[in-house]
Structure 1
């Protein structure tokens, strides 16, 4: 029985960072998620988010981006194994994309709950 050789930890991190870099550089939606994350960070600094609000925003960034990475990997695997259009391949790709969409919509709603009152107070409406 052959013993599995695992990559050293630093190589595992390298592979993971390469996957993140590949997704950011090749996937339009990941670029959009990153862009909105930068805007949220800028708005959060201006509006002086609390520690709890920062934790919520960071958790949502992580959730949406992690799901986008999973979605990208599912799409790549499906494309690798399905040479022609198949109903099950479509279900796999569509449901993975749907998971990202649900997380992004919920993140936007939570963002509005956090930022709209702070923004209105900042401009003097509240």
Structure 2
């Protein structure tokens, strides 16, 4: 079976991993999840450093970082260089905060589904 991209697909996975849950809940792709997990171990990396670590093209990694920033999973910081100019460094949101967001999203979805179940067969 392919990687889960929806709650329905996630429910069919016998033993989903953390990355599977992240992809499903946050609506991100496998390479974006890999970038997030790599940044956990290498905070304050540049897009080039992350691309080298992931063995991917820098432009692809930059797109992944953009998506992760939009989802609130990565923070970008501007770092001044000694010789002048600047570079952007990226850091993953701390794992405890991401875990909490995952719990909140799944709880909200579960509450929504319970409401649908409770509404089924009601007055018409």
TM-score range, shorter chain: 0.3 to 0.5
Q: Could you state the TM-score of these two structures normalised by the residue count of structure 2?
A: 0.32
- Relative contact order (C-alpha < 8 Å, sep 6+): which is higher? 1
Higher strand fraction (1 or 2): 2
Higher helix fraction (1 or 2): 1
Q: Could you state the TM-score of these two structures normalised by the residue count of structure 1?
A: 0.32
